[in-house]
Structure 1
Amino acid sequence: MNVILPEYMCFWYGEFPTNLETTIRNAEKHTFDGIVTPIANPLFSREFDNEKISEDHKVFTRPAMLVSQSRWNVNIIPKITDALDCDSSDDAVRKYSKKVLEQELKYAQHVRPYRSILVKLKSGNVLHLARIISRVINSSNIIVEVPLVDPATLKQKWMGDGGGDTGRMCGSDTWTWWNNFRMACDPSIHLSVALEINATPQEFPSWSNLRRWLGEPVRSLITPSYLYMKNDLSYYVLSDDYRIVFELLKKHSLNFMIKAAYIDDLDIRKFPEVVKFLTITHRVDTLRTANYDELVRACQPIRDEISNAIYSKMEDDPVKYRSYQNAISFAMLSKPQDSRVAILIVGAGRGALVRAVINAKRLTARQCKLYLVERNENAVFHLRALKKELWPDLDIDIVLGDIRDYMPPEQIDLIVSDLLGAFGDDCLYPECIYPTQKYAKPNAIYIPSKITSYLNPVMTTLHHYKAAKQGWSIYVGSPYEVYNIAEPEPVFEFSFPSPAVDSVEYEQHKRLLFKAEQNCVLHGFIGYFECILWEGEMISILPKTFTTGLMSWSPYYFPIDIPQYVKSSDTIELNFWRCATDTKMWYEWIINRPILCTIQNFQGLWWSADKR
């Protein structure tokens, strides 16, 4: 069962229709995919205590047979009655609401088994509601409707505009409503958010407050029909003032719900254009990031052999190899023009990095001797074929083996390597490259010449759900559907060559402090790297210095098994270790503040990189 509805769908969100089939057909005329409708007639008052009246009131909604089962499955999202208050301070109201909610949930599951049900939050007092919803959370997908702004805030503002007290607003943070509900239910992949735009842009929360929704499973956006206006070309689009929310969530897999009391109230000429605008615009953004939120376990750089398909994907990155080519060219130009440059290429793969070296050689008109070292036997077959067919006149030696066991027949001028991981040093870059200094010339150049890893704390509900389901590990993740609690800070730095290579510390520790800007939930840390190839030529996946167009790496996700609630202005203290033995390397991390947790990935239990 999948919590995410089919992507790019648009629904009409309205009142209880008297004829479901007719309403669905009308919605389809407006190019909507379906409707969001109350599961029960809101004018129907149910009685549970009086036996005779209760018997009469068992028929509280339309018969399910009025539409086909496929209509229920695809074209209808049932909505729980808004007026219910399961957390009322009035015992009678609370008990009545509980019984009605249970009845409606049971019927919704009957007509639409294992599919979505919409439930609206009206406050942060949600414990009784969450308790009831928890009973069905594993057999239904619960879409939680949350207003962007607390209606109480809007009500007070309107009263103030009318001459009342315009002092401190009484409304609360609606993200807190959702968080209370989510935590009380026990966070589940079957919970998602439908965020309702219920205020003007002037009434929106602050930008830092809005950004928290980036880390939440927002799967639907509810917008009133009047927000869509004609642009200069006479096409209906979302009003520019409201685009901030749309742009904020454009990387989420969103469905759209257009709110209007009755389907006939909609302009039949207007909404085909609106639906087209929403779906096409959102599709452009999401297609560009296909599979971006998939979590893949970090690879074993030495143990795992790279397949032909992965090589093909890695090599389809012109930005990366153009950057390498520029750095190699600069390095060659620093050598005397009449000199012969001995170049060692570590991790030659199927030849993409070799081509960058050969291109640089031709651009600089330098004489070169190339030593290609690759441990993947299948990749070496490619290299030998390339040498025979494309590079027969070049002076190239191809070596099958581990760089740590290799000794070239001469001293090396230039060491070029392609062993960078998403965290910089996670593919054993220092362990593999520092030993080459024993046969490098004193003025040898290393490309890359410096790598720095970075970490920042994040709230990412989706990544946490997936990591918990797939098993705790270090994952190759993404910065989408992620709320960055604080800016990244540098962790480990390795420079090449090292002035004291015999005393290089492969085991390192760093203590990092981060300041939270908003109340949020800490789910772990995102890891990046920044790399100086040589003389200012840089490649980076760090957001602030990101190399435009770079595709070879996605950031790492370092999870924590138990999420922590973090308050605004709290300090997050992280201790992070790079650990190493003769046989493996791994990372460990522990949070000291705001709440002390256990050591994560202790002794490499979740993930480690084998050295052989």
Structure 2
Amino acid sequence: MSHSFMDQGSEGYNEVRPTFYIGQHDSTRSETLNESQYGRILNAGFGFVTTPITNEDFHERVVNLLRELSLDAKNSAQAGSIPDPVVPPLTIEDTTLFPSTYTSGLVAYASPWIDLCSPNHAVSSISRQVLNLEVSYANFCGIRSIIVPGPRQDAAKTGNGQGITQYARAIQEAFSIGTRVNLIIHIPMYREPGLEDKVALLSIDEDKSQTTLEGEDIDLFSAWDSWHVIRSVCEYDSRLFVALKIPRVLPEKELQTRWFSEPLQYLTFGPQTFQSNRAGRPCLSRYHQEMICIYMRLKNAPYFLLCDVGPELQAEPDNTQAAAAEPTTDFPSLAEAATQQSAGTTHTLQPLNVYASYFRHLERQQEPLSDLEQTTLTNFQDWLQSPLQPLSDNLESMTYEVFEGDPVKYFQYEMAIAAALRDWAAQGKPTSSPGGEVVIAVAGSGRGPLVTRALRASESTGVPVKVWAVEKNPNAYVYLLRQNQQAWGGRVTVVKTDMRAWKGPILSTSTSSDSPVYGNVDILVSELLGSFGDNELSPECLDGIQHVLAPGHGISIPASYTAHVSPIATPRIYADIQQRATTGEENAFNTPWVVRLFALDFVAQRVPDRPRFQQAWEFAHPLPRATLEAVEARRAGGVAGGGGGSMAGAVGANDHNARHCHLTFVCRSRGAIHGLAGYFESVLYESTAASTGEGEDGKVELSILPENIDRKSKDMISWFPIFFPLKEPLYFPPDTELEVSMWRQTDDAKVWYEWMVEAFMWVGPSQRVKVGGSGLCSSRKVACLL
């Protein structure tokens, strides 16, 4: 029993869970905490604290400035003149925030009474100046994060669009002043009644009210709309983040996913968000807990900010009383020492805040990160990688090693080879080897993982094989020779050549003959698939080696593969690409990036005949002989009137691998897309036997489609999706149809993609109008070379 207990303890010790960083915000706080108060909040279970930048004295001074300005404007009104107030610089009476040892643990909170959205020029100008003063001073003090209260009304409100653009313009200006700070917009997930700021805004009109009317319809996406305007005006600045107010009633998943894709810095919870459990202690609903679990899987997971939930900070002891308790000499008497100790016992240990304790409980309840998440998946979240150039570049050993770290892919390949061998034996097919063995060629062997799997499949099925490993990389060739010596027992013939130039297995080794006799291959195995199936030139490579495949009954593994796309919102990745483009990477927006998409929102809905993921095109192998003959005729100039091809200057020898698709996606809610997510599925082998024990219909498949990966190739990590970016985000209204056009283009020397997206809205039973478009994007300048 003790041994079992130790095992469990050791296992639990090694578990890694998402870490919760919990902060405290008090909306009534008007002064910066002193060191003692700061320490008491930390002792109550919090990791960081917010601080106001200016105090009530400054607020009163600004209000008086506005009053004086209003009186002057009434007394000296003149046509064409606009009052132009100037807020004087900060003084020592205006703030209690100063650089200190604990400033790094503080998050500044801008004054909630400023009204950047005000239609009154004086109010909006003063508010903008106050924000600039506060940002500048906090930046000087060493504060690195400033939370700015978001707009209180959205552009969806009639006549309120000007206010949101004014607000966005002010935030954009603040970035130029606070050169080292992050600005975090505090905004609700949606306008739930009760989430509004209660602090009165700076205003000339004392009766001004911006509360939500009872019974008024709530527009779930209006707050996100405002955020989209702000970050668009700020050009997706990498220092702009969201502090998201979590409502008591969570909205539909569609809105939760929309915010999940945004750059979240804080999730904020007020007392109204919580409910009470049976013991009367605060807790969150099951839906809130599920949302937190999802959000905490982000690589840069948001922090938690608990607002107005304590702890209550008592006033500091009176300094005169403390002085009276101090000894009058350097060496007090026993009586004086006892009096001093008694006076010091008024300080008690700060109890843990019940809300912070609850979040620590939630932290312990998080699902541990799997080994795969810790080592690979989390690190690669939303990290852009350039696609491989398999024909023009020789890969390094480390790259091969990363590929080989995926057991799922190679298990599926082994299953496919074994099924093909069983079918071959069951059907009594003739082999291409004089000795009766089935000839297997692994095209593009790399360091040989598929060779190992082919040998294992032979052993498990009892079908004898002859294996050829074909590899063009001279460095990998050396490694293959070593593998054949040490791991494969000399059972493999290793050939160093481009697979397209390989003439096939040599049957005659007689030196008397000037021309050796070449045979055929029965099963051709390759792992040339890319994130989009064909983006690493699998079709072209397999076309080039197909001439060695036994005619009539030769098998290609993979047998076929399909490319699939879906329009997505991924603002973090868009910001990354934009930064690359502005720092000299001119083709950043024309590159199809390989990326483990994570913080994203699939904007399309699942509707009949319009799924969320749609097939773009398909490739199948081997090609019909007539197609290969036509290719050779074009290449040799034997086509009458030929030479033009589909591209100017091309003879059309690779035109059979060009593709085009036009797909329609339906979007119910308004939003913005930043590009297209690309995926692939592949049928490695489809068995002809009645009962094989393989997948459905006897298929052995690979898939990275989110809807199918768990069913077809669960936990496979060899391929991340591909992302086709748009040069500008495409905003679309509710009930929009997004039409995606894509081309796989070739000029016989290289292969590239072109793509564009158009947004259409129905204005009648049979009429649509175009409401937006992306323009044509092309990867021709970064094409894959043949």
- Is the pair's TM-score, using the shorter chain for normalization, greater than 0.5? yes
Corresponding residue of 1:610:
785
User: Of 4, 18, 22, which aligns to 2:36?
Assistant: 22
Indicate the residue corresponding to 1:159 in structure 2: none
| Residue 469 of structure 1, aligned match among 579, 583, 586 | 579
Indicate if the aligned counterparts of 2:727 and 2:774 stay in contact, CA closer than 8 A: no
In structure 1, the partner of 2:257 is 211
Q: Which residue of 2 aligns with 1:178?
A: 227
Is structure 2 residue 664 aligned with structure 1 residue 508? Answer: no
Could you tell me which amino acid in structure 2 is paired with residue 39 of structure 1? Answer: I
The residue aligned with 1:344 is 441
The partner residue of 2:702 within 508, 531, 539 is: 539
Moved more, 41-50 or 243-252: 41-50
Deviation at 1:592, TM superposition (A): 3.6
Residue of 359, 383, 389 corresponding to 2:486: 389
Q: Letter of the aligned partner of 2:393 in structure 1?
A: D
Residue identity opposite 1:601 in structure 2: S
Partner of 1:245: 291
Q: How far apart are residue 230 of structure 1 and its match? A: 9.1
- The counterpart of 2:503, out of the listed 384, 404, 407, is 407
User: Residue 581 of structure 1 aligns with which residue?
Assistant: 747
Partner of 1:12: 24
Q: Distance in 1 between matches of 2:32 and 2:546?
A: 80
The whole-number CA distance in structure 2 between the counterparts of 1:234 and 1:390 is 66
1:370-449 correspondence to structure 2 within 5 Å: 370-392=467-489, 394=491, 396-408=492-504, 409-441=518-550, 442-449=552-559
Which deviates more, 205-214 or 512-521?
205-214
- State the SS of the aligned residue for 1:336: helix
Structure-2 change in CA distance of 1:126 and 1:231 (3 Å): same
Among 105, 110, 125, which residue is 1:75 paired with? 105
Q: Is residue 2:443 matched to residue 1:335?
A: no
Quote the RMSD (CA, aligned, Å). Answer: 3.0
Equivalent pair of 1:31/1:275 in contact (CA under 8 Å): no
CA distance in structure 2 between the partners assigned to 1:220 and 1:575 by the alignment: 38
Aligned residue among 456, 481, 502 for 2:599: 481
Cα deviation for residue 78 of structure 1 reads 0.2
Residues 1:90 and 2:120 are matched in the alignment: yes
Deviation per residue, 1:55-88 (Å, 9 max, x gap)? 89762210404x32xx22x301101111211111
Deviation track 1:144-197 (CA, whole Å, cap 9, x = no partner) reads 111122145878xxxxxxxx9646447872111211222233321111111111
2:139 alignment partner in structure 1: 109
User: Is 445-454 or 165-174 further displaced after alignment?
Assistant: 165-174
Which residue is equivalent to 1:304? 393
Q: Does 1:40 align with 2:69?
A: no
Note the C-alpha offset of 1:220.
1.6
The residue number in structure 2 matching 1:284 is 369
Give the conservation status (yes or no) of the 8 Å contact 2:665–2:738.
Answer: yes
Aligned with 2:671 (options 520, 527, 532): 520
Secondary structure at the aligned position of 1:462 is classed as helix
Distance 1:55 1:575, change over 3 A: closer
Offset at 1:52?
14
User: Which residue matches 1:598?
Assistant: 775
Structure 1 Cα separation of the partners of residues 224 and 750 of structure 2: 43
Cα distance between partner residues in 1 of 2:391 and 2:281:
56
Supply the distance in 2 between the matched residues of 1:150 and 1:240 (Cα, whole angstroms): 21
Cα distance in 2 between the residues matched to 1:58 and 1:240: 48
User: Could you tell me how far 1:53 is from its partner in structure 2?
Assistant: 11
2:165 is aligned with 1:127: yes
- Structure with the largest fraction of strand: 1
2-side partners of 1:234 and 1:262: how far apart? Answer: 16
Equivalent-residue separation in structure 2 for 1:355 and 1:237 (angstroms): 54
Q: How many residues align?
A: 587
Q: Given the alignment, which residue of 317, 320, 324 partners 2:409?
A: 320
Alpha-carbon deviation of 1:584? 1.0
Unaligned runs of 5+ in 1: 1-5, 156-163
Letter in 1 for 2:386: R
Q: In the alignment, residue 182 of structure 1 is paired with which amino acid?
A: R
Q: Distance in 1 between matches of 2:189 and 2:183?
A: 18
Q: Is the alpha carbon distance of 1:351 and 1:90 closer, same or farther for their aligned partners in structure 2, counting shifts above 3 Å?
A: same
SS in structure 1 of the partner of residue 657 of structure 2? coil
- The aligned amino acid for 1:539 is L
Which residue number corresponds to residue 726 of structure 2? Answer: 560
Q: Secondary structure at the match of 1:297?
A: coil
The AA in structure 1 aligned to 2:186 is: E
Distance across 1 between alignment mates of 2:484 and 2:352: 65
Q: Which residue of 2 aligns with 1:196?
A: 245
TM-score by length of 2: 0.70
Q: Secondary structure at the match of 2:174?
A: coil
Percent identity over the alignment is 25
The alignment partner of 2:656 has SS state of coil
| More deviation, 167-176/383-392 | 167-176
CA 1:358–1:238 in 2, change beyond 3 Å: closer, same or farther? farther
**1:42–1:146 distance in 2 versus 1, CA, 3 Å:** farther
Q: Verify the 8 A CA contact 2:32 2:97 in the aligned structure 1.
A: no
TM-score for the superposition, normalised by structure 1: 0.88
Q: Pick closer, same or farther for the CA change 1:20–1:196 going to 2, 3 Å.
A: farther
Q: Which residue of 2 aligns with 1:144?
A: 185
Q: Classify 1:129/1:283 alpha carbon distance in 2 versus 1 (closer, same or farther; 3 Å).
A: farther
- Distance across 1 between alignment mates of 2:485 and 2:137: 71
Greater Rg, structure 1 or structure 2? Answer: 2
Secondary structure of the residue aligned to 1:595 is strand
